[in-house]
């Protein structure tokens, strides 16, 4: 799990740096494709913002060995984090390869 946190942190740092240096890229699709892209992108962004404090809380609970609380929160955090990870790949694919 620490590996996942480190990988996510490195990715987020790289993404934010690239975004700050190069700006945004606009989706070139139209119609239904654009609607699907925007829906996935907005849900991805909203849940990505929510995921950060959840993961930080999980790390804190694990460090303090509060395992029962960690498990309860992880049951909600894991699916959200997984969704954010998968939709990140989908957004990238739609944006740069569609």
For residues 4 and 54, which has the higher predicted lDDT (pLDDT)?
A: 54
User: In this predicted structure, what is the pLDDT of residue 1?
Assistant: 83
Residue 22 pLDDT grade (very low, low, confident, very high; cuts 50, 70, 90): very high
> Rounded mean pLDDT of the chain?
94
How many helices (H) and strands (E) the chain has is answered by 3, 0
Domain assignment of residue 15, yes or no: no
Give Cβ neighbours of residue 51 (< 8 Å, ≥ 6 apart): 77, 80, 81, 84
What value does the mean pLDDT take over residues 34-56?
96
Domain assignment of residue 10, yes or no: no
Model confidence, pTM? 0.86
Domain assignment of residue 12, yes or no: no
Domain assignment of residue 55, yes or no: yes
Domain hosting 57: range is 30-97
DSSP 28: -
Domain assignment of residue 52, yes or no: yes
pLDDT above 90 (res 2): no
Domain assignment of residue 16, yes or no: no
User: Shortest CA distance to 1 belongs to which of 49, 68, 71, 48?
Assistant: 71
Domain assignment of residue 44, yes or no: yes
Number of structural domains (the chain) is 1
């Amino acid at each position: 799990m620490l590996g996942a946190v480190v990988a996510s942190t490195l990715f987020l740092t790289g993404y934010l740096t690239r975004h700050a240096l190069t700006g945004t890229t606009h989706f070139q699709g139209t119609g239904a494709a654009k609607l699907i892209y925007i829906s996935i992108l907005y849900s991805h962004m909203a849940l990505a913002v929510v995921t950060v404090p959840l993961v930080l809380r999980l790390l804190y609970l694990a460090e303090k060995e509060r395992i029962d609380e960690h498990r309860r929160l992880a049951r909600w955090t894991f699916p959200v984090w997984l969704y954010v990870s998968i939709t990140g790949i989908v957004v990238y694919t739609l944006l740069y390869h569609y």
